[in-house]
């Protein structure tokens, strides 16, 4: 039911429901009030109903609609759900598959930014702002906000609200929002927590649509605060408002046409094109101050506080469309909804770079579970995987975030990794070149033509190899001419200029020489290559070298420009590579598999699937298993072994004994029936000795496989990111070298390709010194199917396929052993 809440009167403007027809199909009915049609409410209602239906196990909606009700039919068609219809006697029978598909999720997300952008615009472009709690004391937070608005010359109207005063800071004050002569576009609320809800009521009564709640004392303080925040959110949403905060510093739009400092920050940034969202207010203050010091222009700043309504994801969508914004910085402490973040960041990141600092890198989230994958994966691994998949540039420190932001603000993105280094000191050049190589850049060989151009004016002692070392005597003119030549060279994609003050030249003139060399190269067409500098002289610390609109970022140490460039090349490559697809697989059976896992959970509670159950699950997703199977008795085992042919392997099947080998539960190379029977008896005897015979369900008998490469594929559930899939070579590669590549599901065909190629041992899969090559296409498909399995069956909490044998190209792979755990 969609309602409009006006103080205490509820207006029902749309209603929808579904009723089960059978176990998988529900009949849906919806109606939207005449005045509210055409506003997307029907679509929203359908989406929400579908979500609830899927969570309750339905897969289809059916509806009967009059043929002339084209609006309703259009809602069904536009939903993105798979749609089938049948017209008869003036009625249309509609069938919708409500399982979220790529199309439906994409459609929903395409609708989302439109409404999100519209609702967030008011925050950054208000015509009028009320400060509720505009204290007469300029040192109080409300007083500071009012002063910030005035001092930083907000272009709109400011209304101080204070019941104790008739004027504050020379502006007429109003006792409450309801007393205002007009509805302000935005209200900034800085009153004690117990009065915030009343102020929200006043906002609604006066028609305010955007509120920034500065007040602290909500979810961050514990259970009571959480309850208060819940009430606040309900009220805000009920009134159809949007809210930033609570517990935040406020927001800023530095565009001179708006000049809005709706925060208690005394620092107003230089106007620029970088938007910055911070989950920490205090840190936000520090960053605003630093951005001025480092001459980094910002377009927007927002402290999102408790993110009770407006989230980081909303802001990404807003900035995606904002022409003032060229790049986005995020300081994150948590992801509200990582899967939504992944989809939005990927889309936004393909247009505008996103740089994120994620706090909480170490320790937290590491899981103690016994399996390889769980032990290897920590939340931070998931963050890394997610950022990698979505093109988010991860900054390790705040300092690095600034470095990356400065590079993005002032220089074009690199188009390649061939890097030229220009220096007046060999040591600097070596440090920088090492960092370049470590970061995957290539300190490229210069062409004879370039070298000859340099030789014409550089001293004989100079080296015209790359790094170009002009030696200590280099002056401003050497820097100018060399920078121009290198930037214009066809074999160079990016230039790093290094200078250390050796008291032989004036640093300022060197800086000018570098900048003017770059300007000259730009004039002659080298407009798309980035240049970074490291001028190691105290006078120049961290400020860009500027000339005629050209700004060359200047970093403190020679390794920094290399690291920045390497991260931006990676981003640029990500942006240029084809979009992957999450492939559809025919003939998989998610429904029956899910009910199998649910039944197990219901009957036995969380735990490992039996060998038989695991084989059923894997087979239902057409995952390749060797012949053979589960047997309960020695006779059965011997019979099955002769059917599949000798030699065979016989392995203990048990839901409670995880480490089979240690229990003597793996018997290999059995050449005949007698050997199989002996092996069966040996397993039984060993278990009996350990008093664990009850734990034996039977055995798994398989042909002995040889000649392949051993792999492992594992999945663990990250509490906030969902399934995390890992891939590596089996044996010591996983256990000792930890050579595993992780991704967050769902994964695309591109992700699968990268996972296989992303491990250090990839060369072994290509065939190396007598090692046979492996069927890489089959491995990629296996990864995609496993990812699909865990996406479809959320009950799978852990999965380990180890070993998987990959055979030579064209011969596929087989899952030799594995285990699957289910949990609710």
Tokens for 729?
Answer: 């070579």
Residue 55: half-sphere exposure toward Cβ, Cα within 13 Å: 6
- Please tell me whether residue 161 binds ligand COA under the rule CB under 6 A: yes
CA distance 314 to 336: 11
- The torsion defined by the Cα of 482, 485, 490 and 491, in degrees rounded to 10, comes to -10
**Cβ at position 779, least distance to ligand COA in Å:** 49
Question: In the range 675-704, which residues lie near ligand COA by CB under 6 A?
Answer: none
**Which run of H or E residues covers position 577?**
none
Residue 146 vs 796, nearer CB to ligand COA: 146
CA distances from 462 to 468, 473, 504 (A): 8, 10, 16
Q: Is the peptide bond before 467 cis (omega within 30 degrees of 0)?
A: yes
115 is written with which tokens? 């409404």
C-alpha 688/C-alpha 308 separation (Å) is 58
Contacts of 744 (CB under 8 A, 6+ apart): 338, 342, 382, 385, 386, 389, 718, 721, 722, 723, 724, 725
What is the smallest separation between the CB atom of 304 and ligand COA, expressed in angstroms?
10
Q: In the bound complex, what is the minimum distance in angstroms from residue 454's beta carbon to ligand COA? A: 53
3-class secondary-structure state, position 771: strand
Q: How far apart are CB 402 and ligand COA at their closest, in Å?
A: 20
Q: Which of 80, 113, 126, 142 binds ligand COA (CB under 6 A)?
A: 142
Packing angle between helix 398-410 and helix 559-576, nearest 10 degrees?
70
User: Judged by CB under 6 A, which of 65, 116, 162, 745 binds ligand COA?
Assistant: 162
Nearest residue (CB) to ligand COA, 190 versus 377: 190
Nearest distance from C-beta of residue 289 to ligand COA, angstroms: 15
Written as six digits, the tokens of 732 are 């010591």
Residue closer to ligand COA, measured from CB, 199 or 778: 199
| E strand spans, 313-389 | 327-332, 354-358
What does DSSP say about strands 531-536 and 494-500: parallel, antiparallel, or unpaired? parallel
DSSP state of 184: -
Distance in Å, CB of 296 to ligand COA, minimum: 21
Farthest-apart Cα atoms in the chain, separation: 101
Using the minimum distance from each CB to ligand COA, give the nearer residue, 177 or 505: 177
Q: Considering CB under 6 A, how many residues would be counted as binding ligand COA?
A: 28
Dist CA 292 CA 345 (whole Å): 27
Q: What separation in angstroms does the CA of 315 have from each of 296, 305, 384, 775?
A: 20, 13, 21, 44
- The 549-588 contact track toward ligand COA, x by CB under 6 A, reads ----------------------------------------
Q: Is 97 near ligand COA (CB under 6 A)? A: no
Residue 137 vs 527, nearer CB to ligand COA: 137
The least CB distance from residue 495 to ligand COA, in Å, is 41
Q: How far apart are CA 219 and CA 725, in angstroms?
A: 33
Q: Which is nearer to ligand COA, 190 or 381 (CB)?
A: 190
Give the residue, chosen from 247, 379, 444, 516, that forms a contact with ligand COA under the rule CB under 6 A.
Answer: 247
The helix (H) or strand (E) run that includes residue 687 is: helix 673-689
H/E stretch holding 799 reads strand 796-806
**Residue ranges in 409-448 that form contacts with ligand COA under rule CB under 6 A:** none
Judged by beta carbon, residue 214 or residue 683, the one nearer ligand COA is 214
Q: Which is nearer to ligand COA, 168 or 436 (CB)?
A: 168
Choose one: 155-163, 254-262, 354-362, 482-490; the region binding ligand COA (CB under 6 A): 155-163
For ligand COA, the closer CB: 247 or 435: 247
Closest among 696, 683, 735 to 712, alpha carbons compared: 735
Please choose, out of 7-15, 59-67, 161-169, 371-379, the segment that lies near ligand COA by the rule CB under 6 A.
161-169
Shortest separation between residue 241's beta carbon and ligand COA, angstroms: 17
Segment contacting ligand COA (CB under 6 A): 247-255, 453-461, 524-532, 573-581?
A: 247-255
Least distance between ligand COA and beta carbon 249 (Å) = 4
Which C-beta is closer to ligand COA: that of 149 or that of 436? 149
What are the angstrom distances between the C-alpha of 558 and each of 51, 502, 544, 635? 53, 16, 15, 72
> Bridge-partner residues for 188, per DSSP?
131, 212
Measured from the CB atom, the residue of 176 and 672 that comes closer to ligand COA is: 176
Q: Which residue is nearest to ligand COA (CB)?
A: 281
Among 9, 86, 164, 603, binds ligand COA (CB under 6 A): 164
Q: How far is the CB of 328 from ligand COA (least distance, A)?
A: 20
Q: What is the nearest approach in angstroms of ligand COA to the Cβ of residue 214?
A: 5
Q: Using CB under 6 A, which residues numbered 166 to 225 contact ligand COA? A: 190-193, 195, 199, 214-217
- 815's CB contacts (< 8 A; 6+ apart) are 618, 623, 624, 625, 626, 782, 801, 804
Q: Which two tokens stand for residue 350?
A: 């393909």
| Residue among 191 and 675 whose Cβ is closer to ligand COA | 191
CB of 819 to ligand COA, least distance (A): 47
Query: Considering the complex, what minimum distance in angstroms separates the CB of residue 340 from ligand COA?
Result: 24
Minimum distance of ligand COA from residue 216's CB (angstroms): 4
Site string for ligand COA, 121-140 (x = CB under 6 A): -----------xx-xxx--x
Q: Can you read off the two tokens belonging to residue 601?
A: 């959970």
Rounded to whole angstroms, how far apart are CA atoms 608 and 603? 12
Q: Which residue has the tokens 């060989």?
A: 445
* Residue 301, C-beta contacts closer than 8 angstroms, at least 6 positions apart: 251, 252, 254, 263, 265, 269, 275, 276, 277, 278, 284, 287, 288
Figure out which of the listed residues 200, 236, 249, 514 binds ligand COA, where binding follows CB under 6 A: 249
**Quick one: 252 or 752, whose CB is closer to ligand COA?**
252
30 or 188: CB nearest ligand COA: 188
Judged by CB under 6 A, the chain residues 2 through 21 that form the site for ligand COA are none
Question: Rounded to an integer, what is the distance from CA 337 to the centroid of its chain?
Answer: 10
Which CB sits closer to ligand COA, 143 or 338?
143
Closest C-alpha to 529, from 485, 563, 499: 485
Told to check if 263 binds ligand COA by CB under 6 A, we report no
Window 275-304: residues binding ligand COA (CB under 6 A):
281, 303
CB atoms within 10 A of CB 464: 19
Minimum distance from CB of 190 to ligand COA (Å)?
4
Which residue has tokens 């002769």? 642
CB of 536 to ligand COA, least distance (A): 36
Could you list the residues that contact ligand COA (CB under 6 A)?
132-133, 135-137, 140-142, 161-165, 190-193, 195, 199, 214-217, 247-249, 281, 303
């Amino acid at each position: 039911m969609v309602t409009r809440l006006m103080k205490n009167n509820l207006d029902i403007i749309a209603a929808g429901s579904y009723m089960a027809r059978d176990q998988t199909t529900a009949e849906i009915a919806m109606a939207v009030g005449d005045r509210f049609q055409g506003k997307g409410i029907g679509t929203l209602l359908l989406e929400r109903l579908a979500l609830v239906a899927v969570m309750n196990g339905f897969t289809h909606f059916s509806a009967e609609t009059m043929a002339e009700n084209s609006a309703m039919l259009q809602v069904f068609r536009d939903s993105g759900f798979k749609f089938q219809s049948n017209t008869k006697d003036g009625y249309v029978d509609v069938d919708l598959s409500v399982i979220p598909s790529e199309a439906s999720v994409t459609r929903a997300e395409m609708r989302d930014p439109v409404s999100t952008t519209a609702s967030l615009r008011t925050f950054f472009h208000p015509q009028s702002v009320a400060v509720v709690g505009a204290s007469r004391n300029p040192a109080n937070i409300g007083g500071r906000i009012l002063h910030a608005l005035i001092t930083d010359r907000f272009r709109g109207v400011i209304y101080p609200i204070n019941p104790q005063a008739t004027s504050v800071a020379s502006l007429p004050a109003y006792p409450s929002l309801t007393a205002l002569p007009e509805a302000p576009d935005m209200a900034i609320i800085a009153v004690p927590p117990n009065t915030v809800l009343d102020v929200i009521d006043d906002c609604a009564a006066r028609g305010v649509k955007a509120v920034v709640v500065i007040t602290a004392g909500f979810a961050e303080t514990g259970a009571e605060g959480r309850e208060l925040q819940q009430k606040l959110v309900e009220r805000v949403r009920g009134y159809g408002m949007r809210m930033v905060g609570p517990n935040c510093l406020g927001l800023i739009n530095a565009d001179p046409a708006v000049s809005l400092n709706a925060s208690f920050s005394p620092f107003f940034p230089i106007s620029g094109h970088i938007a910055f969202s911070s989950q920490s207010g205090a840190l936000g203050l520090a960053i605003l101050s630093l951005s001025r010091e480092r001459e980094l222009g910002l377009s927007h700043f927002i402290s999102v506080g408790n993110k009770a309504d407006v989230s980081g994801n909303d802001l990404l969508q807003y900035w995606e469309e904002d022409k003032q914004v060229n790049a986005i910085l995020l300081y994150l402490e948590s992801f509200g909804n990582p899967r939504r973040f992944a989809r939005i960041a990927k889309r936004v990141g393909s247009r505008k770079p996103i740089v994120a600092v994620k706090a909480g890198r170490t320790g937290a989230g590491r899981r103690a579970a016994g399996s390889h994958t769980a032990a290897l994966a920590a939340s931070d691994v998931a963050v890394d995987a997610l950022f990698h998949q979505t093109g988010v540039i991860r900054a390790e420190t705040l300092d690095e975030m600034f470095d990356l932001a400065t590079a993005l603000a002032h220089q074009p993105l690199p188009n390649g990794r061939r890097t030229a280094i220009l220096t007046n000191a060999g040591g600097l050049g070596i440090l920088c070149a090492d960092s370049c190589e470590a970061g995957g850049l290539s300190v490229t060989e210069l062409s004879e033509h370039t070298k000859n151009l340099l030789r014409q004016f550089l001293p004989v002692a100079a080296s015209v190899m790359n790094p170009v070392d002009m030696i200590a005597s280099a002056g401003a003119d050497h820097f100018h001419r060399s920078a121009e030549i290198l930037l214009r060279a066809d074999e160079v994609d990016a230039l790093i200029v290094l200078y250390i003050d050796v008291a032989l030249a004036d640093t300022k003139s060197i800086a000018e020489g570098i900048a003017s060399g770059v300007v000259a190269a730009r004039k002659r067409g080298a407009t798309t290559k980035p240049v970074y500098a490291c001028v190691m002289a105290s006078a120049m610390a961290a400020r860009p070298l500027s000339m005629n609109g050209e700004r060359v970022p200047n970093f403190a140490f020679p390794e920094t420009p290399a690291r920045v460039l390497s991260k931006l090349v990676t981003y640029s490559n990500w942006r240029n590579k084809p979009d992957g697809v999450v492939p559809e697989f025919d003939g998989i059976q998610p429904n029956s598999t899910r009910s199998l896992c649910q039944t197990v959970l219901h009957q036995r509670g969380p735990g490992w699937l039996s060998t038989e159950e695991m084989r059923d699950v894997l087979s239902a997703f057409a995952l390749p298993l060797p012949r053979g199977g589960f047997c309960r008795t020695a006779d059965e085992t011997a019979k099955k072994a002769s059917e599949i042919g000798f030699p065979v392997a016989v392995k203990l099947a048990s839901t409670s004994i995880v480490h089979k080998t240690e229990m003597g539960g793996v018997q290999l190379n059995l050449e005949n029936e007698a050997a199989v029977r002996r092996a069966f008896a040996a397993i039984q005897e060993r278990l009996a000795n350990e008093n664990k015979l009850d734990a034996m369900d039977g055995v798994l008998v398989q042909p002995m496989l040889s000649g392949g490469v051993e792999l492992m594929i594992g999945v663990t559930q990250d509490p906030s990111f969902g399934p995390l899939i890992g891939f590596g070579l089996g044996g010591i590669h996983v256990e000792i070298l930890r050579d595993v590549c992780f991704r967050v599901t769902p994964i695309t065909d591109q992700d699968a390709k990268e996972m296989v190629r992303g491990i250090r041992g990839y060369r072994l899969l290509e065939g190396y010194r007598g090692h046979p090559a492996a069927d890489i296409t089959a491995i990629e498909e296996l990864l995609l199917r496993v990812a699909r399995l865990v996406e479809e069956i959320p009950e799978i909490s852990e999965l380990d396929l180890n070993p998987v044998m990959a055979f030579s190209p064209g011969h596929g792979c087989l899952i030799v052993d594995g285990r699957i755990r289910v949990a609710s």
